[in-house]
Structure 1
Amino acid sequence: MLHLNALRLEINTTNGLYGVTIPFESGLNIIRADNTSGKSTVFQSILYALGFEELIGLKNDKTMQSVLKDAVIDGESSFQVIQSAISLEIFNGQQTITVKRSVVNEKRKPQLIDVTFGPQITKNEDTYELRQMYVHDKGAASDEIYGFHAFLEEFLNWNLPDVIDTNGNSTKLYMPLIAPSFIVEQKSGWSSFFATIPWYGVKNAEERVIEFLLNLDVFQNEQSRISLNINKRLIQEKWTILFDDFQNLAEKGNAEVPGLEPFPVIINNINEIYFRVFRNDKYFLVPDLIEELTDEFDQLNQQTEVTVGENLEKNQIRLNLLNDNLLKIGFRYQQLSDELLHEKEKFRQYAQQRKSVQEDLDKNKSAEKMLRLGGDVHAQVANNLCPTCGQGINDSLLPEGVDQVPMQISENINFLSSQLKMLVAFINSQRAKIQEKDNVLAAYNNKLNEIRQEIRNIKRDLVSDERLPSEELIERKINTKRLVNFYVELLEKIESLKNRLLLLSKEWEKIKQREADLSGDFFSVLDRAKIQLLQDTFLKLLKDFNYQSKDKNAIKISTDKYLPVIEVRLPNEKPKSYDIRFDSSGSDHIRCMWAYYVALLETSKRLGGNHPKLLIFDEPQQQSASTTDFHAFLNELSINEDTQSIVFASFQNSIKDFEEATVGLKFTKIESNGRFVQKVEV
């Protein structure tokens, strides 16, 4: 509950103190005054004291009227403002506090707010506790000690939830976003529902506000979805990092990882993800490669005691074999390089074709849209003209007498869409081929380097002292042992990565299960009752306020945005809906807004919502709404005695209109004697 007890303006000028103190009561309060009397100053001061001045466009003192920051006009004279402040006494049903915020003060920034724990305006005493807080700065909505909006949230017994911003991140449903649901300012506020809601980057902010005000269970489901999306994105980020770890490890081991997807998937069999290494013209799994290398090492171990002379004949045979292998692998390397160039050229052509088909598809879709809208689509070929030279051409290459019917645009779109899908499949397949051949080519290159090194070692042995041990055998033994150790260590790292991947996959499976659970009907039975009550109350008020533009049976409260819509149901078609303001007259649109904001309050009040039970309307009699209908609106506000409404209205500067609009109503009348801001005698 947010109840305003009193407002005080204190303006120190070169001619002394000016200001005003305005008490408010429960039920309907009407601030009646002619234009230029200072109604806007009073209205904006309430917003400023609560830190809601963004509803009128800007933040801090920039939003305030000149009487509070520049000069006070008194009769024919104008006096400079040297200091000014606004105090607002508010009540939450149990506790009263007074907030004070400076507009002009050389020693205080406008973000600073004094919070006095007591009714300092209506019952001023020196014993009240005072705490200083701040607004419109980082932490104002979360700092539990100094953040004013964090304090105000607690004072109102609200628990503002986290919502999703436009970037998919979690953010708070800030209080200034909720304010337009119960405070409507004059200049922009009556143009549409929630017209003055400030930009905080919150996705679908209006819907989130209404869900909070009505305390819908769907809001909890939305919170679950927010949490789910955050966890989902975290898993996707972890998966990307893990995928890169796999790729980096594979690159170090001259291996590839079939079956590993770059995006999260549910893995039922972790053994389907493995490393394979291309060596000696065939693929090895890492355990098999370790076994083969170990056998090679054992064989070399038996030969290392042999001298160069004893190994001379074997070295010569091995040298010939290595030279043959060098030629064969070199030939295969060159052949594969040529194939890779060919595959890359095919990839480029497929990509170019895809671009061309996409352009044709876009053009056909645009043409179809034009035809659907009733436009003419002119194409040179359709007119039997060459698009290049403009000369006439036959409309068919078929022999005369053979009938043929050209494809319609819709058929073109289907054909091009199929082509596009086929090309995308080709491109993906080609990309996989290129990657595989790149890996094999890298393995061949490594093998060529190994063979060249072995040839150099053997040649060195052939010219060495025949009594010495074979350096080539020793080096081969060392290299083979090093490879065994490397792949043993690699296998351990692979198992560690696979364990992490399996855990991440299980988390992803839980996420997908929760996502499926949340994909059904979000609304609880109580939610539907609240939306139905909002609709019934809204329609009743429309009738009371004399809405005429559309049949009431066609008006609904949308279950998507919770706003009034016109629903049209054509034969054999699903119902379609559109914003009610597009089919309402100017004055009926104002009646809609009266009805909707009051219906929000009454629905929240009756079915346990979070509405602050406060409505503040600045000049609600817009678009020449009749005095009779305005009376019905004010009457609806006046009978809600357990809430508070404050209406700022000039009544077209007519006492007669004021009397007709308020006849028989119970309300508190607040008037000015010329101007609200007057000289204060100290």
Structure 2
Amino acid sequence: MLSITALSLEINSTNGLYGAFFQFEAGLNIIRANNTSGKSTIFQAIIYALGFEELIGGRNEKTMQSVLKDTVLDGKDQYRVLQSAVILQISNGKKEVTIKRSVINEKRKSQLVDVIEGPALTEPKNNYTQKQMYLHDSGAATDSNYGFHLFLEEFIGWKVPDVIDNSGNRIKLYLPLIAPSFIIEQKSGWSSFFATMPFYRVKNAEERIIEFLLNLDVFQNEQAKISLNIDKQTLVFKWQSLYQEFVRVGERNNAVMVGLPESPAIINNLSDIYFRINRNDNYYLIDELLVELQKEYDDLSKETEITVGENIEKNQTRLTQANDNLIRYSYTLEQWENENFIEKDQLKHYIRQKKNIEEDLENNKAARKMLNLGAEAKLSLAENKCPTCGHEINGTLLPIEVNQSPMDVERNIEFLTAQLKMLETFVNGQRKMVQDKETRINDLKSHIQILRQQIRSLKKDLISDERLPSEELIERKINLKRLIKLYEQLIETTQDLKEKVKILSKEWEHLKSAETKLAGILFTTQDSAKIEYLEVSFIKLLTQFNYQSKEKNSIKISRDKYVPVIEVKLPNEKPKYYDMRFDSSGSDHIRCMWAYYISLLKTSLTKNGNHPQLLIFDEPQQQSASTADFHQFLKELSLQTEAQSIVFASFQNSQSDFEAATKGLIFHKIQGNERFISKL
């Protein structure tokens, strides 16, 4: 829990020291004063000390009232502020700490916070340990040594979870995001629920906050889904890296990888993954090729004992055959390279077409949106133009005199979507074809290189001393030995890669199983009970606060966003739900907000939630809400004795209004007759 026990303002000016001191109690606290007396300064000082000044539209000292950063007004005289600070004493029910944060100080930045381990305002004579921390910078919510908001989170007793941001990445549910659920600011805070929530890129931030405050099981399930998605993304990255490693190994060995998909999959039989190698216009598995290479090597081992002279006729035949193969391979290489050039050009064409269709599809979707809003839109097909190539469509099955478009926008989108899907298939297929052709070209180039080397050796043998052993046979034997070693290493490498595939496949199977289990989980029984309690409590408080705009039986708490909605039931149709504020008068909208924020507190207290048990309202008597209804609001706050509420109100600058609104209530009053800040 979190409660405020004391606040002190210190302002050094050119006319000496000014300031103010306030003590707060459990239950209801009312800061009552007329307008321009400094209530807003006290309110802003509290949220500034907590590091929540983003609720009033900014960060650091620029958000503060001028009395804390520019000039102090004393009667009719103004004095320049030289230095100022806010000191706030807070409690979590077990211990108290004091926070000191400078507003103006030439030697300290406003991001620096002093945390004093003890009630330094109410018991100032004791010597307390002190530590400096920071906020509004990277690490302020995570640095265990100096991060102030991490300290505050732990002080309250929270374990704030990670959520997903708008980019799908993990991000913390920062404290300034939660603060608008229990601190309502005067200028913007009463316009809608959580109106002053700062932008931290958190996806569906309002829902995540309410799930956290009420400690819903669905929140834990959501966290599990978030973790699962992150694990899946990590595994996809590992799998794709492994796939690329397979491809690189294949390229280094003039081999084609078969059987491994580019995306994660459950692989039951690792033997389905293998390398295929082209040699002499035939495809081999590695084991099959090694058998053939070993046989060739053994045969050559016998032939190398024969001299050049004894091999002249054989060498002549081999040279002729090698030259014939070189001509044939060179011709095939030229043919394949020409084909590959054409196939690459076709791939570029498909990619350009795909990009054009994607752009046209986006334009049509935008046009559909405009049409749905009642605008007029000119479509390419409505103008007899093909959305793919832009050429004129010269004819239709409709007579010329019939003034009707061949396709409406919906069919246009369907057509383009089908075209895009088809082109994606073409692009993927063409890219695979280009990759396979390039592998075959590289393999053929390797064979041509070996063949040329063999021709050189054969020619050298034919003019060498006939008594010497055949150099060509020796080189062939060396090359065969090198190939045998190369493919033996490839077998070992492949086995290692397959073991990695096996591990990732098992992980993927586990993740898919977990995803299936989480997919059907919605609300648990406890979650449903909490939301129903919130709904019943909210409607009951609306009745107490004299809400009149809608029938109570049409008011619900949304099961997806957890905010008040109006349910509309039409015969033979599913119920429709509308934001309650649009169906409520101005004063009734304020009553809704009173009821909702108090109901969140009551539900959390009753159902073991995470609410900080603190409510701070700045000028809640908005939209001329009646004094009688405001009395009911204050009465409800005064009954929440397990929590602390602080209300800043002018009571329409009327003492009689104040007395009527607080009649019979138990509360702690802080009265300001003129200005709260005075000369000390």
* Pairing of 1:156-555 with structure 2 (within 5 A): 156-355=156-355, 357-358=357-358, 361-362=361-362, 365=365, 368-369=368-369, 372-375=372-375, 409-555=409-555
Superposed displacement of residue 398, structure 1 = 8.1
**Deviation per CA, 1:10-34, whole angstroms, max 9, x where unpaired?**
2222222211111112222111112
Name the CA distance, whole Å, in 1 between partners of 2:394 and 2:148: 79
Name the CA distance, whole Å, in 1 between partners of 2:401 and 2:199: 67
Superposed displacement of residue 287, structure 1 = 1.3
Q: 1:378 to 1:72 in 2, by over 3 A?
A: closer
Q: Which runs of 5+ in 1 are unaligned?
A: 388-392
Superposed displacement of residue 368, structure 1 = 4.9
3-state SS of paired residue (1:84) = strand
3-state SS of paired residue (1:201) = coil
Name the CA distance, whole Å, in 1 between partners of 2:222 and 2:397: 60
Superposed displacement of residue 216, structure 1 = 1.1
Question: Residue 55 of structure 2 aligns to which amino acid in structure 1?
Answer: L
Question: Residue 149 of structure 2 aligns to which amino acid in structure 1?
Answer: H
Q: 1:641 to 1:110 in 2, by over 3 A?
A: same
Q: Paired residue for 1:564?
A: 564
Q: Paired residue for 2:595?
A: 595
Superposed displacement of residue 245, structure 1 = 1.1
Question: Residue 221 of structure 2 aligns to which amino acid in structure 1?
Answer: N
Q: Paired residue for 2:122?
A: 122
Question: Residue 89 of structure 1 aligns to which amino acid in structure 2?
Answer: Q
Name the CA distance, whole Å, in 1 between partners of 2:381 and 2:250: 54
Q: Paired residue for 1:677?
A: 677
Q: Which runs of 5+ in 2 are unaligned?
A: 388-392
Name the CA distance, whole Å, in 1 between partners of 2:54 and 2:356: 49
Q: 1:673 to 1:408 in 2, by over 3 A?
A: closer
TM-score, scaled relative to structure 1: 0.92
Answer yes or no: is 1:604 the counterpart of 2:604: yes
3-state SS of paired residue (2:418) = helix
- Alignment length, in residue pairs? 675
3-state SS of paired residue (2:633) = helix
Name the CA distance, whole Å, in 1 between partners of 2:572 and 2:261: 45
Name the CA distance, whole Å, in 1 between partners of 2:77 and 2:640: 43
Superposed displacement of residue 238, structure 1 = 1.2
Name the CA distance, whole Å, in 2 between partners of 1:528 and 1:14: 60
Name the CA distance, whole Å, in 1 between partners of 2:241 and 2:396: 57
3-state SS of paired residue (2:540) = helix
Superposed displacement of residue 627, structure 1 = 2.8
Name the CA distance, whole Å, in 2 between partners of 1:263 and 1:396: 43
Q: Paired residue for 1:390?
A: none
Q: Paired residue for 1:150?
A: 150
Superposed displacement of residue 441, structure 1 = 2.0
Name the CA distance, whole Å, in 2 between partners of 1:13 and 1:547: 48
Superposed displacement of residue 534, structure 1 = 0.9
Superposed displacement of residue 505, structure 1 = 0.8
Q: Paired residue for 2:110?
A: 110
Question: Residue 627 of structure 2 aligns to which amino acid in structure 1?
Answer: T
- Indicate if the aligned counterparts of 2:381 and 2:406 stay in contact, CA closer than 8 A: no
3-state SS of paired residue (2:302) = helix
- Indicate if the aligned counterparts of 2:531 and 2:557 stay in contact, CA closer than 8 A: yes
Superposed displacement of residue 214, structure 1 = 0.8
Q: 1:167 to 1:92 in 2, by over 3 A?
A: same
**Deviation per CA, 1:504-556, whole angstroms, max 9, x where unpaired?**
11001101111111111232111111111111111222222233333333332
Q: 1:556 to 1:78 in 2, by over 3 A?
A: same
Q: 1:252 to 1:99 in 2, by over 3 A?
A: same
Stretch of structure 1 that moved more, 124-133 or 253-262? 124-133
- State the superposition RMSD in angstroms: 2.9
Superposed displacement of residue 570, structure 1 = 4.2
- Indicate if the aligned counterparts of 2:89 and 2:96 stay in contact, CA closer than 8 A: yes
**Deviation per CA, 1:125-172, whole angstroms, max 9, x where unpaired?**
224443443333443333334333222222222222222333333333
Q: Paired residue for 2:390?
A: none
Name the CA distance, whole Å, in 1 between partners of 2:335 and 2:144: 71
Stretch of structure 1 that moved more, 79-88 or 342-351? 342-351
Name the CA distance, whole Å, in 1 between partners of 2:370 and 2:651: 50
- Indicate if the aligned counterparts of 2:382 and 2:407 stay in contact, CA closer than 8 A: no
Name the CA distance, whole Å, in 1 between partners of 2:346 and 2:385: 34
Answer yes or no: is 1:36 the counterpart of 2:36: yes
TM-score, scaled relative to structure 2: 0.92
Stretch of structure 1 that moved more, 198-207 or 34-43? 198-207
**Deviation per CA, 1:618-652, whole angstroms, max 9, x where unpaired?**
11122333333322222221222222111111223
Superposed displacement of residue 407, structure 1 = 5.4
Name the CA distance, whole Å, in 2 between partners of 1:516 and 1:640: 43
Superposed displacement of residue 594, structure 1 = 1.3
Identity of paired residues, percent? 60
Question: Residue 214 of structure 1 aligns to which amino acid in structure 2?
Answer: L
3-state SS of paired residue (2:310) = coil
3-state SS of paired residue (2:31) = strand
Q: 1:93 to 1:377 in 2, by over 3 A?
A: closer
- Indicate if the aligned counterparts of 2:382 and 2:408 stay in contact, CA closer than 8 A: no
Q: 1:506 to 1:644 in 2, by over 3 A?
A: same
**Deviation per CA, 1:204-229, whole angstroms, max 9, x where unpaired?**
22222211111111222122122212
3-state SS of paired residue (1:518) = helix
Name the CA distance, whole Å, in 2 between partners of 1:350 and 1:371: 31
Name the CA distance, whole Å, in 1 between partners of 2:625 and 2:23: 29
Name the CA distance, whole Å, in 2 between partners of 1:92 and 1:638: 20
Q: 1:350 to 1:246 in 2, by over 3 A?
A: same
Superposed displacement of residue 365, structure 1 = 4.7
